Amino acid sequence: MMSFPQIGRQDPPLRFIALLLIAGLAVLLAGLWYVQIVSGKRHLEAQQNQSLRTLRVPAVRGQITDRYRQPLALDRPVYQVNAYLDELRPHFQQEYRRRRPTRKLTRAEISALEKQVRFHTVSNLVLQLRLPVPMTLTEAQLQWHYTNKLALPLPVVNLTPAQVAIFMERGGQVPGLDVAVASARTYPQAAASHLIGYLKRDDSSSEDEESYYNYRLPDFVGRIGIEGLFDRHLRGRAGTRTVLVNNLGYRQSEHMSTAAEAGHNVVLTLDLAIQRAAEQALATVRPDVEGAVVVMDPNNGDILALASAPTFNPANFVPRLESEAWERLNNPELRPLILRATQERYPPGSIFKIITSLAALEAGGLNPAEILSNPGYFQLGRRMIKDTAAPGNYNFRRAFIHSSNTYFIYHALQTGPERLTEMGERFFLGQSTGLLPGQEVAGEFPTRARVREGWAPGDTANLSIGQGPITVTPLQMAVMTSAIINGGKVWWPRLVDRIESPENDAVNPVEQFPAARLRGELNVNPKNLDIIRDAMLADVEDAEGTGRRAAVPGLKIGGKTGTAELQRGGRTVDKITWFVSFAPYEQPKYVVVVMVESGGSGGLTCAPVAQKIYRAIQQLERSRTAPSVTQVNPNR
């Protein structure tokens, strides 16, 4: 049996150790009690007061480019200095204590002082950066952000890339400020504004994405043009960022839950160089000219340029449109938001004589060599229709280049209104081309059923010279001219070539829009088309031709001028002037249609505009076909 010697009750060292152990155990138990009972309640309250906030992060919007990938609209990085208000709380408190008066303040005075303190603190911190960029942030904007988006950084100023480098050197000395990269829509070419369209602020979710978010970063949607028609492709898919906030609403941490997916790129059939030439040529007519230009490839229907004046700057809509700019856009006379190439209807005037000629030739009643005497007017019953062509004898060629009303009214009456309207229907006049839904009108054209009821010879006379019950768009006239010179094919005009992935994958596009979509055929005698084409060439090359001001040395151009009178109360109140044309004559590659409101005449006003465009095309082709110069090393 084992036994242990009893510990002496009077052993001081052992008693000290025992007391020390007991004291340590007591401290440990006290600390455990404090953590679980006292602090535990506070941690539980803090955890309950913390919550997650979801933030919608817009995607980078896709590019809109011309056929050579020249960007017409794209998102560019914007460098923002952001203020993190949660990090600035100590500075707010310090400034508040410094400014607070000794007397007791009312609740309203305290609130006003807090607002001033926050704005003054942020302003001083921005000044400490010593950058030559003014802070556009107002006290009201800061207060709204503090009230509604406290967990998010507050943008205070934008920087250039050079200024970002300066900020990175000095930013560490200024607390609560940091640089973040955002994207902004830009339009670097300032061209084809009506086609591109514009954006409008809209932070709502797309159809196939989550609809509930606590916060939403600024986002935009397209309203008209390509921005509007292809908004679903361009906009991409928004991402989601999760932000942890405390019980005061300040940001504690954040992470990206779902990355945003960039939008697709839309590649147009436009040629930016020709588009610019068309816009610049149109602008030479007069300040605030009202008109349109269409340049089309007659071999497949591709739109190479579609200009309208007056125009607007789509960049003015981002981030918001100012009131002064909005007033100009709503000018009831200029109407700069209207795409006059497709969105307005005009009487065609004498350019309709092309269709009158074809109908009469097909009917067999027009012999190009036959002479018709023109007394300077056409007598139709009691009505005398004046002729702008001088009195004299006219065959088809001379009547065409002088645009004799008498000649074409006579042959239209011989042909009959049904054949005349039937020929117009082959060009799909009175019907939309479908190029820009929402930005296109169909125009007016009488049907064969209409001419059978209540139709008078005077109506036929008016129609034959492009007056009366007919209105068209410049785009429809480009389609018409193309069909005349390409052998009778009426194309669906094409503006979009393809939609590509954000990586610009031209080999595997997301969607390809086929070219040369045939809408219909004229089914006419090719010889009759040749007769009209030769007459159009003479209208430009003949010294007596009304279209001679469109002539360009070294380039054979065919054309037809037109002037339509707008009458009110029996008097002329305005003129719509036209010039439709094609080039080169041997192998046509371009159709150019010019329309100007309130012009002098088609030959005086529109033909010179076409000449400037053809000169630009001529120079452009020379530069693109010129052989590249190879650098030779003389030392080799």
Domains of the chain by residue range = 49-70+189-268, 79-186, 272-329+339-494+515-624
Q: Do residues 72 and 268 lie in contact, with contact meaning Cβ atoms separated by under 8 Å?
A: yes
Confidence of residue 58 (pLDDT cuts 50, 70, 90): confident
Residue 126 three-state SS: helix
Mean of the pLDDT values across residues 115-121? 87
Is the pLDDT at 391 greater than 60? The verdict is yes
Is residue 364 very low, low, confident or very high in pLDDT (cuts 50, 70, 90)? Answer: very high
Residue 468: the pLDDT is 84
- Give 249's pLDDT tier (boundaries 50, 70, 90): low
- pLDDT tens per residue across span 570-584: 677 889 999 999 999
Selected from 3.30.70.20, 1.25.40.340, 3.90.1310.10, 3.50.50.60, the CATH number assigned to the domain covering 49-70+189-268 reads 3.90.1310.10
Residue 630 is predicted with a pLDDT of 46
Q: Summarize pLDDT for 420-454 with one digit per residue, the tens.
A: 999 999 999 999 999 999 999 999 999 888 888 88
Average pLDDT over residues 253-260: 74
The larger pLDDT score, comparing residue 98 to residue 419, is at 419
Task: Name the more confident of 332 and 266.
Answer: 266
Same fold, 49-70+189-268 and 272-329+339-494+515-624: no
Q: Tell me, what's the pLDDT at 274?
A: 98
pLDDT of 327: 80
Instruction: Round to the nearest angstrom and report the end-to-end CA distance of the chain.
Output: 111
With a cut of 50, say whether residue 633 has pLDDT above it.
Answer: no
The reported pLDDT for the residue numbered 421 is: 95
Contacts of residue 495, defined as CB under 8 A and 6 or more positions apart, other chains included, come to 195, 226, 268, 269, 270, 303, 306, 435, 436
- Tell me the percentage of the chain whose pLDDT exceeds 70: 92
pLDDT > 90: percent of the chain: 55
d(CA 400, CA 536): 8
Q: Which two tokens stand for residue 159?
A: 């920087």
Task: Give residue-wise pLDDT tens across range 276-297.
Answer: 999 999 999 999 999 999 999 9
Q: Is 80:126 a contact under the CB 8 Å cutoff?
A: no
Q: How confident is the model at residue 636 (pLDDT cuts 50, 70, 90)?
A: very low
Rounded CA-CA distance 489/515 in Å is 13
Tens of pLDDT, residues 589-618:
999 999 999 999 999 999 999 999 999 999
Residue for token pair 């109360």: 569
Tokens of 397: 């060629």
CA-CA distance, 377 to 359, in Å (whole number)? 22
pLDDT tens profile 392-423 = 999 999 999 999 999 999 999 999 999 999 99
- Please identify, in words, the CATH class of the domain defined by 272-329+339-494+515-624: alpha beta
Whether the Cβ atoms of residue 219 and residue 239 lie closer than 8 Å to each other:
no
Q: pLDDT value at position 247? A: 61
CA distance 46 to 441: 63
pLDDT digits (tens, 9 = 90+) for 319-356: 888 877 788 888 888 899 999 999 999 999 999 999 99
d(CA 204, CA 186): 21
The model's pLDDT over 175-185, given as tens digits with 9 standing for 90+, comes to 877 787 888 89
pLDDT at 40: 62
- Please state, rounded to an integer, the average pLDDT across all residues of the chain: 88
Average pLDDT over residues 2-27: 70
Give the whole-angstrom CA distance, residue 88 versus residue 94. 10
